[in-house]
């Protein structure tokens, strides 16, 4: 049986947070194919790498995560996006889910991140 690793793109303006997430994700068998620190780079790197899953922060320079989510979903509606934010207010969660996000994680509580990634087909 061949198991293909799912590819992930990390989008967070904090390099520390990207490194933390990358370590956690790669140790669970996922491949991080791109990292972006702002919204504009996120869209460009998404187009270049077409990752299976995007972990996307809401608060970003240049373009916020909701705008990035909308652009990614316009490019490929089947892309899986998990939003991450320290601002886990109900309004942000609802807006992200209404715009096509698969799930929402409040930073820095990543205990069930891998469980959420594993649920994505």
Structure tokens at 33: 């194919």
Q: How confident is the model at residue 121 (pLDDT cuts 50, 70, 90)?
A: low
Give the model's pLDDT for residue 3. Answer: 45
**Sequence-distant (≥ 6) Cβ neighbours of residue 121 within 8 angstroms:** none
Write down the mean pLDDT value for the chain. Answer: 90
Give the model's pLDDT for residue 5. Answer: 64
pLDDT over threshold 60, residue 97: yes
DSSP state of 3: -
pLDDT over threshold 80, residue 68: yes
**In angstroms, what is the C-alpha Rg of the chain?**
13
Q: How confident is the model at residue 1 (pLDDT cuts 50, 70, 90)?
A: very low
Which domains does the chain show, CATH number per domain?
7-87+106-119 (3.40.50.2300)
Q: How far is CA 111 from CA 40, 51, 56, 60, 64, in A?
A: 29, 22, 17, 23, 25
């Amino acid at each position: 049986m061949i198991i293909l690793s799912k590819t992930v793109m990390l989008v967070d303006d904090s390099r520390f947070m990207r490194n933390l997430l990358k370590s956690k994700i790669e140790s669970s068998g996922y491949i991080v194919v791109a990292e972006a620190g702002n919204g504009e780079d996120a869209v460009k790197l998404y187009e270049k790498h077409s990752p299976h899953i995007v972990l996307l922060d809401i608060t970003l320079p240049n373009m916020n995560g909701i705008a990035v989510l909308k652009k990614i979903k316009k490019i490929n509606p089947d892309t899986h996006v998990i939003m991450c934010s320290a601002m886990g207010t109900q309004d942000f969660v609802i807006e992200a889910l209404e715009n096509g996000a698969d799930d929402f994680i409040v930073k820095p509580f990543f205990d069930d991140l891998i469980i959420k990634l594993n649920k994505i087909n």
